[in-house]
Structure 1
Amino acid sequence: MKRFSLSDRMFDTFNTIFLVIILILIVYPLIFVLSASISDPTAVSSGRMWLWPVEITFRGYERVFSESSIWRGYGNTILYTLAGTLIHLLVLLPCAYALSRKELMAKKFILWFILFTMLFNGGLIPTYLIVQSLGMLNTMWAIVIPNVVGAWSILVARTFFHQSIPDQLVEASKIDGASDFYIFIRVVLPLSLPIVAVMALFHAVGLWNQYFNALIYLSDRDKFPLQLILREILVVNQMQLNDPAAGGGGESLVDQVQTAGLIKYAVIIVSSLPLLIVYPFIQRFFVQGVLIGSIKE
């Protein structure tokens, strides 16, 4: 059996303690928010609820899901996320693969041109004018087309292709008569599932949580994504707290304050739960893709 020195054991012990602390710092807020969303608000504000639920109540979720627009927002966000992620991959993967091939002409110039976009941006007003001139205002395309692919994503995917797809494999496929398009679809992509999963997850998370573009470009409430709907619920609830005469369904000010806390925590869970459910299914691809795609040439 392999024997470990005292320094090795001390190093392992330190790493274990450090990782346990990091795990607690990450997991505790998640458990706290989930527990607070179904606990009595008085127990949360008084500190009696610090980890597990106390006096379980679903009043916050009832108030959130009583809004019919929630389900429409969910549908819109799912549509924007799926369509945007698909377009992202259709643009990103061929571009990154082409840049990874040594036979591409003017490759360095194209790479520098892409890197330039990481340092300089046209700004909000020019972007808005472009979206307006393309007729995309108040449409789904105003959400999924701007920022469809970024320089960072291209560089990471390009590094993955360069490190993971041997030149000999591509050359052998060409000797067998395969075209570049056939090689990319039938040879490269099946070997690139890790980076595809990573890029899809990163972009999908960004689209799922995005609200600023929708706030700027969308005016039709039926097209609002989930984040804008949840924002409206929080804003309306805060207005009712600041002006009790504006509404509140007959609740006292104390009840409104308590319900506001429940709604705040419930909104966090409602907006985050789908991503937390999806992530475990692609975790192994995610870890592998990040490690390989982050290697410097």
Structure 2
Amino acid sequence: MAKLKRDNKLDIAPSKKERVTVGQVILLIILILATLFAFLPVELTFVAAFTDERSIAENGFRFIPLKFSTAGMAAVLKYGKQLAQSYLITIFITVAGTFLGLLFMSMFAYSISRKEFRLAKFLSIYLLIPMLFNGGTLSGYIIFSQYYHLKDNLLVLILPLCVSTMNVIILRTYIVNSIPGELMEAAKIDGAGEYRTFFQITLPLLKPSLAAVGFMMATAYWNDWQNALLFISSDNKKPLQLLLINIQKSIEFLLNNVNVPASARAAMGGTIPQYSSTMATVLVVIGPIMIVYPFFQKYFIKGLTVGSVKG
């Protein structure tokens, strides 16, 4: 009898396995093509950053360089000391802003997720108001510069992006759907207060969603340049994005101004690498994000999917 069952399993397994394999192959081909289309712009950026400027001008951008050159990257790295300072400023803003934002938003999400909290509904509505109504750039500039006195202060690069309505909603949804309410009730019965329940029970279980939201916040802080352009005037406080914009403007000025002295052009190596330096600038910006993203990928996907489905 056991042998007959084994034989039946052997007869059924191949056809079922074959159907699954065909579907997997089709899905694999689709994913490979999608990955290829997503990777090609990155590869083109990397290659163009190390391609000779004349080769780009004559032959256009190519996936395989006809002539290798480091002039574009060298033009960016000539700002070595200022570039390092801007990197440190950007890293500080990204780390501090992400940490504070996750702390504030997770506490806010925990508060409005508690059904017994009387102000939960009011705060939920209050949270939606900034998402629906915005005072605009001019009013924001007046508030931060004249009333908060944060002109040329690093806090002005952290506070505006610290709390996001959508991120709070993601964290709240994760708490409601993925963290059992009975667990919090048990902690309350054992004598734990709200702060202890949040920091010792809710916060550790919130890690996947925190990683997802934290990565999105870090990317937003890393790519932010508009606030720095409006509020930051000191060179030692300029973040990376603003510095690279200034580098591009300097190169454009050298290219378009016929009165530029020969010494300035000689400092750039005789020729001004417009296209390759632009790609080198992009490479300097996206490089750290590309390195960090694989470590956050599994948490990023889990935090967005688990918290959106009722468990």
Q: Is the TM-score greater than 0.5?
A: yes
Query: In 2, are the aligned partners of 1:240 and 1:247 still within 8 Å (CA)?
Result: no
Aligned to 1:145, which of 120, 134, 159? 159
Are 2:32 and 1:20 equivalent residues in the alignment? Answer: yes
1:100 paired residue among 113, 130, 135: 113
What's 1:90 paired with?
103
Among 75, 85, 89, which residue is 2:88 paired with?
Answer: 75
Q: Is the 8 A contact 2:89 2:237 kept in 1?
A: yes
* Contact 1:173/1:183, CA 8 A, preserved across alignment: yes
Partner of 1:239: 253
Q: Which amino acid aligns with 2:42?
A: L
Mind listing any 5+ residue stretches in structure 1 that lack a counterpart?
none
1:251 CA drift (Å): 5.0
Q: Which of the numbers 274, 277, 280 marks the counterpart of 2:291?
A: 277
1:79 alignment partner AA: F
Partner residue, 1:32:
44
C-alpha distance in 1 between matches for 2:105 and 2:143? 21
- CA distance, structure 2, for counterparts of residue 253 and residue 225 of structure 1: 23
State the alpha-carbon separation in 2 of the partners of residues 261 and 252 from structure 1. Answer: 18
Q: What's the offset of the Cα at 1:119?
A: 1.3
Displacement of 1:54 in angstroms is 4.1
- Greater shift, 5-14 or 190-199, is seen at 5-14
Greater Rg by CA: 2
CA distance in 2 between partners of 1:46 and 1:28 (Å): 21
- 1:62-84 Cα distance to aligned partner (Å, 9 max, x none): 11111131111111111111111
- Aligned CA distance change for structure 1 residues 247 and 3 (closer, same or farther; 3 Å): farther
Distance, in Å, in 2 between the alignment partners of 1:63 and 1:192 is 44
Shift of residue 58, structure 1, vs aligned partner: 1.7
Percent identity, please.
Answer: 29
TM-score, normalised on structure 1? Answer: 0.91
User: What is the number of residues matched between the two proteins?
Assistant: 296
- Does the C-alpha gap of structure 1 residues 296 and 134 become closer, same or farther in structure 2, counting only changes over 3 Å? farther
2:274 match: 260
1:39 counterpart SS class:
coil
Find the aligned partners of 1:166 and 1:2 in 2 and give their Cα distance: 42
**Residue number in structure 1 paired with 2:123:** 110
Distance 1:70 1:42 in 2: 26
Of 209, 229, 241, the residue aligned with 1:195 is: 209
Moved more, 244-253 or 104-113: 244-253
Note the alpha carbon deviations across 1:121-158, whole angstroms, 9 max, x for none.
01112211211211111101111012311110110110
When the two chains are superposed, the root-mean-square deviation of aligned CA atoms in Å is 2.5
Bigger shift: residues 221-230 or 48-57:
48-57
The gaps in structure 2 that reach 5 residues or longer are 1-12
Match of 2:133 among 120, 131, 138: 120
Report the Cα distance in structure 2 between the residues aligned to 1:48 and 1:64, rounded to whole angstroms. Answer: 21
Q: Corresponding residue for 2:176?
A: 162
For the residue of structure 1 that corresponds to 2:15, the secondary structure is: coil
Residue identity matched to 2:274: A
Report the residue type matching 1:143 in the other structure: L
| Alignment equivalent of 1:129, drawn from 132, 142, 166 | 142
* C-alpha spacing 1:221/1:254, structure 2 compared with 1 (3 Å): closer
Larger deviation, residues 128-137 vs 248-257: 248-257
